[in-house]
């Protein structure tokens, strides 16, 4: 019986190129703006999708990957900015949960009252139900596999990935999200990948390497995405060993 592939979603080519090079017998297909690299790692089928930046691109590409490949699991992989003072550039965050940090309801303010994002209420807007904040869950078994990966270039943090179409650079807002919602980092694709995958009952997990920490003045380094790819590769080997 044909094995269902693992699908890797990466927003930027620099976050995917190392994994693409690890694929054997690779075939490339571009559908509109989204490129899918099909191949094998240790004879197990793997698809790496260059999905572009942002939640809309990630949602569309994830749906396309599910329809086309019927994957056994989806991993959202790449870089993220740190939330918290004990998370540093080079650390890995494993997304046990994912939170939409850009879905918010503001308090009523009249003209001239100004704006205060620390007073915004994070909510998921749910048709036919009471609006409320909800986390998207990562797959528990894949979280356990991630815990088995040896990583020597930083710490591994298990917890919540914050996600949404924004780049927070205000220390107070970053710390507010960290303290109130447990976010360890933020990026721009995970919430879309988690939501679509969970809606289709596909196991999903986010892997993010910290590329910067605005609070601690650790500057952004886009090249550090190599390390998240190496971690993701080792994570896949854990899964493949179970199914060999």
Q: What is the pLDDT of residues 57-94, one digit of tens each?
A: 999 999 999 999 999 999 999 999 999 999 999 999 99
| pLDDT at residue 2, as a whole number | 85
Helix or strand holding residue 59 (H, E): helix 55-69
Average pLDDT, the chain: 96
Angle at 193 between CA 79 and CA 225, to 5 degrees: 15
Residues 6+ apart with CB under 8 A from 219: 212
Query: Residue 174 and residue 171: Cα distance in Å, rounded?
Result: 5
Contact yes or no for 234/150 (Cβ under 8 A): yes
Minimum mean pLDDT range among 9-13, 199-203, 222-226: 222-226
* Tokens read off for 144: 């356990």
Only one residue has tokens 């572009």, namely 52
Contact yes or no for 140/147 (Cβ under 8 A): no
List Cα–Cα distances, 37 to 7, 13, 25, 27, 232, in angstroms: 10, 12, 10, 6, 16
Tell me the domain boundaries of the chain: 6-109+121-242
CA proximity to 95, closest of 241, 239, 203, 216: 203
Helix or strand holding residue 206 (H, E): strand 204-212
3-state class percentages of the chain: helix first, strand second, coil last, to nearest 5: 30, 30, 35
87-135 pLDDT tens trace: 999 999 999 999 999 999 999 999 999 999 999 999 999 999 999 999 9
What phi and psi values does residue 185 have, to the nearest 5 degrees? -165, 175
CATH 3.30.590.20 fits 6-109+121-242, yes or no: no
């Amino acid at each position: 019986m044909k094995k269902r592939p693992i699908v890797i979603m990466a927003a930027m080519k620099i976050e995917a190129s190392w994994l693409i090079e690890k694929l054997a017998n690779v075939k490339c297909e571009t559908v509109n703006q989204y490129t899918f690299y099909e191949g094998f790692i240790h004879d197990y089928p793997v698809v790496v999708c260059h999905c572009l930046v942002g939640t809309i691109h990630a949602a569309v590409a994830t749906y396309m990957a599910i329809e086309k490949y019927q994957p056994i699991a989806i991993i959202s992989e790449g870089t993220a900015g740190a939330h918290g003072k004990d998370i540093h550039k080079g650390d890995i965050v494993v997304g046990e949960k994912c939170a939409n940090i850009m879905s918010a309801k503001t308090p009523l303010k009249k003209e001239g009252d100004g704006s205060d994002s620390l007073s915004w209420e994070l909510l998921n807007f749910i048709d036919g139900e009471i609006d409320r904040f909800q986390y998207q869950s990562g797959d528990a078994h894949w979280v356990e596999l991630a815990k088995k990966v040896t990583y020597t270039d930083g710490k591994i943090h298990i917890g919540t990935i914050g996600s949404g179409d924004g780049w927070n650079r205000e220390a107070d807002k970053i710390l507010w999200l960290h303290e109130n919602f447990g976010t360890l980092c933020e990026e721009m694709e995970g919430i879309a990948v988690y939501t679509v995958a969970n809606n289709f009952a596909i196991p999903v997990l986010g892997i993010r390497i910290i590329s910067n920490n605005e609070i601690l003045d650790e500057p952004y380094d886009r090249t550090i995405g190599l390390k998240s790819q190496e971690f993701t590769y080792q994570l896949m080997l854990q899964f493949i060993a179970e199914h060999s």
